[in-house]
């Protein structure tokens, strides 16, 4: 997960300047038009088709993926009358999730997290809604929306019979819920770590702990504001979120809260595990220390004693004694046992 994407212009440049976003994905534009009875899908629609779509009574979904072509975006923006600052937001991925209400439309900027080869990648999804049409811009390949496209194409459920508000809900729901599989994955990693931390704390754990903490920190930054976005959407826009749609968006809100809740819980668990890890390390060092102490403090005095009788003084009475050697062994054994008992008594063993 990248810590800091280029998300600003050099200070002092005029606002609304479009800069090219460097992704390798090619831009795909699809126009879906439908109501209860009709359905059409146009790939790469012309400006004329777009303008036509705006005027009829069908629900229009302009689905743009792999956003990286400033000129095409600018044209679309002009066709649909989008604010230049909003266009700038679409092209500069790495935005904080937010909701803006302009005269003609509302803009939601959301983060869609997914895993690419064990790495958390954020895809920026910008949703423009107003006057019966919805524009969605994904900075990535927009694969997460494929099930929605399929449901529209197949006419499965009551998807086609409902208005643009329901389409908005469906897309927001997909974006918010995309955090759950990631969090489940993290949850499983945490559970796996827990036993290892207590049993055998090694360096690899520290690495994983650090990685997980970092991922959760960045995920929190990316997802935390989404709760407020949904909350402001529900409170503000009486047209989009009417009595029928309110339970659906409330459900989205609950999910957003649940996600933040989970992230915070995981973060606290990881902090707790770091404490436990350090305590386990201390414990182990303590154990090792104790052994060193016992071995050291028992043998160091004994080594001194045998050193004494290795001295070459001309006059050393003990050396001449018949049983000197055996006496000295006895003394040394007594000393060793005495010290062992002392350690036992002090509970150091």
* Residues in Cβ contact with 257 at an 8 Å cutoff, skipping those fewer than 6 apart: 227
Residue 161 to residue 150: CA distance in whole angstroms: 15
Closest distance to a second copy from the beta carbon of 341 (Å)? 14
Nearest to 183, CA basis, from 241, 255, 287: 255
CB of 243 to a second copy, least distance (A): 8
Site for a second copy in 68-107 (CB under 8 A): 83, 85-86, 96, 98, 100, 102-103
Our finding on whether 228 is near a second copy (CB under 8 A) is no
Shortest separation between residue 57's beta carbon and a second copy, angstroms: 24
Residue 296 to residue 226: CA distance in whole angstroms? 61
Asked if residue 330 binds a second copy (CB under 8 A), the reply is no
Among 47, 115, 192, 308, interactor with a second copy by CB under 8 A? 308
Among 75, 78, 188, 239, binds a second copy (CB under 8 A): 188
Residues in the chain: 349
Which positions from 19 through 78 interact with a second copy, judged by CB under 8 A? Answer: none
Q: Which positions from 150 through 169 interact with a second copy, judged by CB under 8 A?
A: 151, 156-157, 159
Residue 285 as a binder of a second copy (CB under 8 A): the answer is: yes
- Contacting range for a second copy; rule: CB under 8 A; set: 8-16, 48-56, 73-81, 229-237: 8-16
Strand partners, 98: 109
Q: Alpha-carbon distance 225 to 118, whole Å?
A: 24
Position 236 contacts a second copy (CB under 8 A): no
Among 20, 40, 78, 210, binds a second copy (CB under 8 A): 210
Q: Considering the rule CB under 8 A, would residue 292 count as an interface residue with a second copy?
A: yes
Q: Is 207 in the site for a second copy (CB under 8 A)?
A: yes
Measure the CA–CA gap between 76 and 64, rounded to whole angstroms: 10
Q: Is 278 in the site for a second copy (CB under 8 A)?
A: yes
| Contact between 192 and a second copy per CB under 8 A | no
Is 322 near a second copy (CB under 8 A)?
yes
Which of 91, 86, 138, 110 is CA-nearest to residue 225?
110
Share in percent of the chain as helix, strand, coil (round to 5): 55, 15, 30
Q: How many residues form the binding site for a second copy (CB under 8 A)?
A: 118
CB of 222 to a second copy, least distance (A): 10
The owner of tokens 């064990």 is 118
State yes or no: residue 254 binds a second copy (CB under 8 A).
yes
Query: Should residue 198 be labelled a site residue for a second copy when binding is judged by CB under 8 A?
Result: yes
C-alpha distances in Å from residue 145, one per residue of 117, 139, 193: 20, 13, 34
| Contact present, 64 and 135 (Cβ < 8 Å) | yes
| Closer of 70 and 187 to a second copy (Cβ) | 187
Q: Which residues contact 204 (CB under 8 A, 6 or more apart)?
A: none
For residues 28 and 98, which CB has a smaller minimum distance to a second copy in the complex?
Answer: 98
Among 155, 161, 303, 331, binds a second copy (CB under 8 A): 303
Contact 110, 98 (CB under 8 A): no
What's the half-sphere exposure (Cβ side, CA atoms, 13 Å) at 25?
17
């Amino acid at each position: 997960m990248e810590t800091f994407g280029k998300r600003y212009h050099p200070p002092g440049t005029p606002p609304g300047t479009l800069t090219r976003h460097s992704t390798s994905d090619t831009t795909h534009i699809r126009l879906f038009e439908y109501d209860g009875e009709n359905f059409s899908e146009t790939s790469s629609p012309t400006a004329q088709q777009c303008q036509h779509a705006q005027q009829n009574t069908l629900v229009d979904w302009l689905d743009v993926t792999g956003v990286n072509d400033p000129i095409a975006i600018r044209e679309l923006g002009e066709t649909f009358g989008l604010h230049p600052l909003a266009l700038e937001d679409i092209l500069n991925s790495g935005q904080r999730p937010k909701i803006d209400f302009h005269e003609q439309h509302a803009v939601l900027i959301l983060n869609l997290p997914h895993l690419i080869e064990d790495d958390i990648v954020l895809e920026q999804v910008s949703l423009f809604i107003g006057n019966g049409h919805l524009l969605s811009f994904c900075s990535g390949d927009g694969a997460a929306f494929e099930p929605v496209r399929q449901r529209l194409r197949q006419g499965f459920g009551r998807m086609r019979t409902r208005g643009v508000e329901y389409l908005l809900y469906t897309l927001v729901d997909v974006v918010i819920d995309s955090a759950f599989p990631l969090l489940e994955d993290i949850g499983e990693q945490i559970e796996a770590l827990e036993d290892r931390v207590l049993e055998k704390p090694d360096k690899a754990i520290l690495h994983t702990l650090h990685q997980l903490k970092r991922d959760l920190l960045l995920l929190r930054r990316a997802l935390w504001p989404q709760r407020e976005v949904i909350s402001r959407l529900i409170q503000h826009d009486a047209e989009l979120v009417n009595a029928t749609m309110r339970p659906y968006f409330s459900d989205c809100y609950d999910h957003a809260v649940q996600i933040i809740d989970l992230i915070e819980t995981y973060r606290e668990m990881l902090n707790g595990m770091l404490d436990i890890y350090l305590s386990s390390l201390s414990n182990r060092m303590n154990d090792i220390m104790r052994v060193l102490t016992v071995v050291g403090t028992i043998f160091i005095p004994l080594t001194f004693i045998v050193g004494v009788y290795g001295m070459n003084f001309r006059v050393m009475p003990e050396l001449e004694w018949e049983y000197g050697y055996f006496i000295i062994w006895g003394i040394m054994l007594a000393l060793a046992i005495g010290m062992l008992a002392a350690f036992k008594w002090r509970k150091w063993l």
